[in-house]
């Protein structure tokens, strides 16, 4: 063999080696069979978000096969089906959403297929829940999951993702992250309403839910990580390459002493195979509709609104693909039945404005953003120019310090809204700050509150201010009014949200608070004469504000002072240390 031939062989061999090494480096992602099962009518409103969140995943679509199981009423395929029956109407909408999504996404996935399960709606009446969760229903779910499972096996899928159609993922990396975790059974922790989620931290010996102290730290994310738990459901990834996974079952009759329930059977069969289940809460992955408590469609709609609002608290928004926008009804916005809804917002807090704007869109409220007076721009000259003077002897009862510039800005912001309200001759307005969380069913409850105020006024005369949210500052019980939902507030803090009437605004202005300023939190209780400090109150002889409070409250702050994420513009801003501006220098600690 000549030198040249030898060299050629060396080059050939090494190029083969190099190419095989580079092949080994470039591995295709494992294949996923994503199975989504959709109820005939109850999921129609959240489905666009569920599908969009699947579409948004960064996992390669050409490594994903989507299989959809849909309950379909055959009549819905006819042009003139019964649109009076909301079940038909929503079944039709469900079908339309699916068709639209599939048409757009089909080319990108390895495959998308739909299995129709034809149903007679008479088999599925609008029933109460005990009837709903009957053995027939479980049979259906068990059968469906069993079929999905064997199909994934036949398809040689590396992973099976079983996803309920009431899940919205807000993190695009959820799937990639779950696959990378290399666990054989794992779920992304999903937030819901209240303390519901898609895992259990405890299970009793019969297989039922057991409350344990391990649950909350995972849910509130005070502990972050991947945790072994006895139960995961609603969105679970199963590694089909683990041979023991083939022994998993949803069918309780295959197990000893197992309740007839698909998720319990699955969890117990995993346990019997020594396969651990894991829940991952390292990121905010997504949201899950609360567990079904009735088949009331209005309730589902309200829960979807509440869930979307909940997501905005974490700065998360349900994804919605372009092609599906027209299939989601956006609420027609109104002013909540009052003349104006103000939202006080600092210009340098655009993220709060954006979050509040999203909440207004979700709630259908036509609000006006009101530019707050920025404490950072207030200085002595500004105070002099506006003729602002402080209340003699004022100091914060907790911090023992004078007013901060932030607190002054906050007062002036509300004050300016009162002026605006009067100059516009509004008879009743809602004033909100920009960091509020709306309690569940906010709109219907607000409507009831307006009714209650009207009823109250008929018997007891006009009300000037009605708190929507506040912090009760005394342990004393407060007096209920004769009207359900309204209470007479005692000493309270916060101005995150209240209803104000024209006369109320006039009274708050007429007392000339800028000439004896103290924080607005203190000013309001003084004005309705429930302030415990009579030294301060005496500077306001005309304490004639007629205040009420919603009870229970309708809003709360998104973050409380002391929370890690809380940035308060009033608490932390620079304190006024120029003693010259205070009638008395009593702030020794400064």
Q: Where does this chain bind ligand NAG (CB under 6 A)?
A: 60, 62, 139, 142-143, 146, 251, 253-254, 273-274, 425, 427, 474, 476, 478-479, 490-491, 530, 532
The answer to whether 545 touches 504, Cβ cutoff 8 Å, is yes
Report the alpha-carbon angle 72-75-79, nearest 5. Answer: 120
CB of 272 to ligand NAG, least distance (A): 6
Bridge partners (DSSP) of residue 429 are 340, 500
C-beta closer to ligand NAG: residue 149 or 442: 149
Give the whole-angstrom CA distance, residue 172 versus residue 419: 46
C-beta closer to ligand NAG: residue 20 or 474: 474
A 10 A CB-CB count for 100 gives: 17
CB of 108 to ligand NAG, least distance (A): 8
C-beta closer to ligand NAG: residue 273 or 321: 273
C-beta closer to ligand NAG: residue 192 or 473: 473
Burial class (CB in 10 A: 0-12, 13-18, 19+), 377: exposed
The H-or-E segment that residue 362 falls in is helix 350-363
CB of 435 to ligand NAG, least distance (A): 27
Got the DSSP string for 241-300? TSGGGGG--S-GGGSTT--S-HHHHHHHHHHHTTPPEEEE-SS--EEEPPPP----HHHH
- Joined together, the tokens standing for residue 338 give 């009052």
CB of 89 to ligand NAG, least distance (A): 30
Sign for the pseudo-dihedral over CA of 363, 369, 370, 374: positive
35 phi and psi angles, rounded to 5 deg: -110, 125
C-beta closer to ligand NAG: residue 246 or 512: 246
- Joined together, the tokens standing for residue 346 give 């600092």
C-beta closer to ligand NAG: residue 425 or 459: 425
The answer to whether 65 touches 110, Cβ cutoff 8 Å, is yes
Give the whole-angstrom CA distance, residue 383 versus residue 113: 69
Which of 446, 453, 464, 496 has the alpha carbon at shortest distance from 336? 446
The H-or-E segment that residue 442 falls in is helix 442-460
Give the whole-angstrom CA distance, residue 544 versus residue 461: 13
Cβ partners under 8 Å of residue 229, min gap 6? 199, 200, 201, 214, 218, 277, 278, 279
CB of 16 to ligand NAG, least distance (A): 24
CB of 514 to ligand NAG, least distance (A): 25
C-beta closer to ligand NAG: residue 354 or 420: 420
C-beta closer to ligand NAG: residue 14 or 474: 474
CB of 73 to ligand NAG, least distance (A): 22
CB of 33 to ligand NAG, least distance (A): 17
C-beta closer to ligand NAG: residue 534 or 588: 534
Give the whole-angstrom CA distance, residue 486 versus residue 65: 55
CB of 143 to ligand NAG, least distance (A): 4
CB of 159 to ligand NAG, least distance (A): 16
C-beta closer to ligand NAG: residue 266 or 491: 491
The answer to whether 248 touches 269, Cβ cutoff 8 Å, is yes
C-beta closer to ligand NAG: residue 247 or 565: 247
CB of 222 to ligand NAG, least distance (A): 32
C-beta closer to ligand NAG: residue 169 or 316: 169
C-beta closer to ligand NAG: residue 462 or 532: 532
245 phi and psi angles, rounded to 5 deg: -60, -25
Bridge partners (DSSP) of residue 229 are 277
Give the whole-angstrom CA distance, residue 255 versus residue 265: 7
CB of 392 to ligand NAG, least distance (A): 22
Which of 488, 505, 509, 535 has the alpha carbon at shortest distance from 430? 505
Give the whole-angstrom CA distance, residue 469 versus residue 550: 8
C-beta closer to ligand NAG: residue 69 or 491: 491
CB of 251 to ligand NAG, least distance (A): 4
Farthest-apart Cα atoms in the chain, separation:
114
CB of 531 to ligand NAG, least distance (A): 9
Which of 407, 408, 411, 416 has the alpha carbon at shortest distance from 568? 407
Cβ partners under 8 Å of residue 183, min gap 6? 226, 237, 239, 276, 278
- Joined together, the tokens standing for residue 424 give 């516009």
A 10 A CB-CB count for 520 gives: 21
């Amino acid at each position: 063999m000549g030198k040249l031939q030898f060299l050629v062989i060396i080059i050939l061999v090494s190029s083969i080696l190099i190419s095989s090494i580079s092949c080994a480096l470039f591995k295709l992602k494992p294949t996923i069979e994503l199975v989504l099962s959709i109820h005939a009518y109850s999921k129609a409103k959240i489905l666009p978000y569920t599908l969009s969140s699947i579409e948004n995943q960064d996992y390669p679509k050409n490594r994903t096969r989507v299989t959809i199981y849909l309950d379909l009423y055959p009549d819905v395929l006819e042009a003139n089906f019964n649109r009076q029956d909301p079940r038909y109407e929503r079944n039709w909408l469900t079908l339309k959403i699916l068709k639209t999504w599939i048409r757009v996404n089909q080319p990108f996935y390895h495959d998308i297929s739909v299995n129709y399960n034809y149903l007679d709606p008479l088999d599925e009446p609008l029933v109460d829940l005990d009837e709903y969760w009957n053995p027939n229903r479980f049979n259906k779910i068990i059968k469906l999951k069993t079929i999905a499972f064997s199909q994934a096996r036949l398809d040689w899928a590396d992973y099976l993702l079983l996803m309920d159609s009431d899940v919205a993922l807000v993190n695009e990396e959820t799937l990639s992250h779950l696959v990378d975790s290399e666990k054989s059974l794992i779920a992304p922790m999903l937030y819901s309403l209240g303390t519901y989620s898609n895992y259990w931290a405890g299970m009793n010996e019969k297989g039922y839910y057991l409350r344990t102290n391990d649950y909350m730290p995972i849910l509130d994310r005070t502990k972050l990580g991947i945790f072994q738990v006895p139960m995961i459901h609603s969105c679970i990834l199963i590694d089909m390459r683990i041979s023991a996974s083939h022994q998993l079952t949803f069918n309780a009759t295959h197990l000893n002493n197992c309740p007839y329930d698909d998720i319990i059977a699955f969890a117990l069969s995993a346990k019997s195979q020594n396969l651990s289940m894991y829940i991952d809460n390292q990121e905010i992955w997504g949201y899950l509709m609360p567990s079904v408590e009735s088949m009331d469609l209005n309730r589902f709609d309200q829960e979807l609104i509440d869930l979307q609002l909940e997501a905005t608290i974490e700065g998360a928004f349900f994804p919605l693909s372009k092609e599906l926008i027209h299939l989601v009804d956006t609420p027609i916005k109104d002013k909540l039945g009052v003349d104006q809804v103000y939202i006080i917002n600092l210009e340098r807090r655009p993220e709060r404005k954006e979050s509040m704007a999203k909440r207004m869109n979700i709630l259908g409220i036509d609000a006006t953003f009101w530019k707050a007076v920025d404490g950072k721009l207030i200085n002595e000259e500004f105070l002099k120019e506006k003729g602002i003077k402080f209340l003699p002897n004022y100091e914060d009862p907790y911090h023992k310090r004078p007013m901060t510039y932030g607190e002054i800005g906050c007062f002036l912001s509300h004050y300016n809204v009162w002026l605006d309200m009067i100059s516009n001759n509004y008879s009743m307005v809602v004033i909100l700050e920009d960091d509020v969380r709306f309690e569940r069913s906010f709109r219907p409850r607000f409507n009831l509150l307006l009714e209650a105020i009207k009823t109250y006024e008929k018997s007891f005369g006009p009300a000037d201010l009605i708190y929507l949210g506040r912090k009760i500052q005394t342990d004393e019980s407060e007096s209920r009014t004769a009207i359900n939902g309204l209470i007479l507030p005692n000493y309270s803090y916060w101005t995150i949200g209240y209803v104000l009437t024209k006369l109320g605004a006039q009274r708050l202005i007429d007392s000339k608070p800028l000439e004896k300023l103290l924080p607005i939190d203190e000013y309001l209780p003084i004005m309705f004469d429930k302030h415990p400090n009579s030294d301060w109150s005496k500077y306001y002889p005309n304490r004639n504000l007629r205040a009420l409070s919603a009870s229970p409250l309708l809003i709360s702050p998104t973050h409380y002072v002391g929370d890690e994420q809380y940035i308060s513009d009033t608490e932390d801003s620079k304190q006024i240390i120029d003693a010259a501006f205070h009638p008395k220098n009593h702030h020794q600690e400064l």
